[in-house]
């Protein structure tokens, strides 16, 4: 989460940076791997140190923590994490929700914690969840307050669990408290002395910020802007109010803006266009006193779920443009110079060599289609002027071919009401169709129909067809799903009215013990 003020203070203290290892205590119950894991935050901190941004004294992270030395260079100010008070969280969350999130890590929930987690959509708890959630919300308040008071030009809080999916009375989508909403409400309602009367919240996470939208849907003091994958309502959180048609209600009508992508592979040029033609003109008219950014980076090139391809330079330009719009042009690099760097970069080179090679060789269907997909690094800006027309024609032709393709497994599966469960999914038909439709030309092209067993359709979208053969022959050993993932599968089967919980658990256990 990042914050910037409209009027910059003195140049002495420019950027605040907050990180606290305690927020890494929130993890899956038994240490299973998960997209939203402690290493996600630690890797950011390691990168900052590697680049010298957070390594003023040349100490290791362990030594710095032991000596209590802030690992920051002269450009940054170290901020301390603080737990959010109940009364501040209560401005956007119900009392019952606050009590549960604060108590879920206590001993009294040791035997029921996992069961409670299964009642929510894509949520896990452990003994460190409560403290992490309180610190995350409190830390965003801390950085926002420092910027609003004029102590800092801008600040970033490296926090987890994230927050933009959390709703008034419900945790969802890896989010326990809605951190940015708590901070915005704090500035508007608890600290009128700071003079923050209008706040722009920019949510560039690849998923829609459903919780944040609902919390300020009728509030004209908050302009909420979310750019996200929508895929005609099938992309997580698969709610219709992520559409561009939802613009706010009552006094807040016109203060809610959604820019929904209907497919993956959107990159720097797409997001810059949304900024230049939608966000920045509206932001200029709104003239906010504060900008808060829900900075999820899962629209980045290489993210396996987001399927988009923003480069690091692309993110830099988006933030630079936004920061410039706040009236802080004197403290930033030349926007035009940075734009030139971004528009000329080959996105396949922004990732590691392995990822770049995968992007270049990615096919729509390994068994039935020889045509390679167009590289995500090919944008109109990167092509010579005399090849733009040819590129456009080729894109249209490719789109038509993709739309006309007929896959055997799709024709079979289209007659079955499939319920699919996975981390980050909603476990209903629209969620599954997101993968089916996305498989036409993006990351999810590896959906294989394997037939039926016990009258249940069996599909895999986690490995290529070549691996299926290896599993069948025994070359690759079968392994049961982790406890957390198994619980999610069970919920999907139960909500799909295929099996009850006991039958679903028995089916998964028996299936994991049999060869294909």
- Secondary structure (DSSP) of 385-454: GGGHHHHHHHHHHHHHHHHH---HHHHHHTTS------TT---SHHHHHHHHHHTTTSS----EEEEEET
* CA atoms of 433 and 410, how far apart (whole Å): 10
Strand 256-261 relative to strand 154-158: parallel, antiparallel, unpaired?
unpaired
Angle between helix 312-325 and helix 335-344 axes, rounded to 10 deg: 160
Q: What is the radius of gyration, based on Cα positions, of the chain? A: 24
What are the residues facing 384 on neighbouring strands? none
222 phi and psi, to 5 degrees?
Answer: -120, 120
* CA atoms of 339 and 318, how far apart (whole Å): 10
Enumerate the H helices of 104-164 as residue ranges: 113-117, 129-148
Q: What is the rounded (10 degree) CA torsion for 128, 131, 133, 134?
A: 180
Tokens 């957390």, located at residue: 484
* CA atoms of 230 and 48, how far apart (whole Å): 32
- Tell me if 203 sits within 8 A of 224, measured CB to CB: yes
* CA atoms of 453 and 516, how far apart (whole Å): 11
What are the residues facing 293 on neighbouring strands? 2, 202
SS3 content of the chain, % helix, strand, coil (to 5): 45, 10, 45
Q: Is 165 labeled as catalytic in the residue annotation?
A: yes
Secondary structure class of 295 (helix, strand, coil): coil
- Secondary structure (DSSP) of 61-82: HHHHHHHT-----TTEEEE---
Exactly one of 165, 207, 208, 228 is catalytic; which is it?
165
Closest-CA residue to 293 (of 228, 210, 225, 221): 225
Angle between helix 95-103 and helix 129-148 axes, rounded to 10 deg: 120
Catalytic residues: 165
């Amino acid at each position: 989460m990042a914050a910037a003020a409209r009027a910059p203070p003195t140049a002495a203290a420019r950027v605040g940076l907050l990180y606290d290892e305690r927020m890494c205590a929130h993890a899956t119950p038994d240490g299973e791997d998960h997209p939203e894991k402690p290493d996600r935050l630690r890797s950011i901190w390691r990168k900052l140190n590697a680049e010298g941004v957070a390594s003023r004294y040349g100490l290791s992270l362990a030594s710095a923590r032991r000596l209590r030395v802030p690992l920051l260079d002269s450009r940054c100010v170290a901020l301390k994490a603080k737990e959010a008070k109940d009364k501040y969280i209560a401005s956007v969350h119900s009392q019952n929700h606050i009590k549960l999130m604060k108590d879920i890590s206590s001993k009294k929930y040791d035997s029921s914690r996992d069961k409670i987690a299964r009642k929510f959509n894509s949520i896990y708890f452990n003994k460190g969840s409560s403290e992490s959630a309180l610190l995350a919300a409190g830390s965003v308040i801390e950085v926002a307050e420092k910027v609003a008071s004029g102590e800092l030009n801008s600040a970033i809080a490296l926090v987890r669990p994230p927050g933009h999916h959390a709703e008034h009375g419900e945790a969802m989508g890896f989010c326990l408290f809605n951190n940015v909403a708590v901070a915005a409400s704090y500035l508007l309602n608890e600290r009128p002395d700071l003079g923050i009367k209008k706040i722009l919240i920019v949510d560039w996470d690849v998923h829609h910020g459903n919780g944040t939208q609902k919390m300020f849907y009728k509030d004209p003091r908050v302009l909420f802007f979310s750019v996200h994958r929508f895929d005609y309502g099938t992309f997580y959180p698969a709610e219709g109010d992520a559409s561009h048609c939802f613009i706010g209600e009552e006094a807040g009508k016109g203060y809610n803006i959604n820019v929904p992508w209907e497919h993956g592979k959107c990159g720097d040029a797409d997001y810059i266009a949304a900024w230049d033609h939608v966000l920045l003109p509206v932001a200029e008219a709104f003239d906010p006193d504060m900008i808060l950014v829900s900075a999820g980076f899962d629209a980045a090139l290489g993210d396996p779920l987001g399927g988009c391809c923003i480069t690091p330079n692309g993110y830099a330009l988006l933030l630079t443009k936004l920061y410039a719009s706040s009236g802080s042009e004197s403290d930033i690099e030349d926007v035009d110079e940075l734009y030139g760097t971004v528009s000329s970069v080959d996105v396949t080179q922004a990732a590691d060599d392995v990822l770049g090679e995968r992007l270049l060789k990615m096919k729509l269907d390994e068994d039935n289609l020889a045509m390679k997909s167009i590289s995500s690094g090919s944008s109109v800006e990167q092509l010579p002027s005399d090849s733009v027309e040819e590129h456009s024609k080729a894109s249209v032709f490719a789109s038509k071919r993709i739309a006309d393709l007929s896959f055997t497994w799709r024709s079979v599966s289209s007659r079955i009401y499939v319920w699919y469960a996975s981390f980050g999914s909603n476990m209903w038909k629209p969620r599954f169709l997101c993968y089916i439709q996305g498989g036409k030309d993006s990351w999810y092209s590896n959906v294989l129909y394997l037939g039926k067993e016990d009258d249940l359709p069996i599909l895999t979208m986690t490995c290529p067809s070549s691996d299926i053969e290896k599993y069948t022959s025994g070359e690759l050993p079968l392994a049961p799903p982790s406890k957390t993932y198994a619980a999610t599968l069970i919920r999907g089967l139960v909500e799909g009215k295929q099996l009850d919980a006991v039958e679903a658990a028995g089916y998964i256990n028996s299936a994991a013990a049999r060869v294909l």
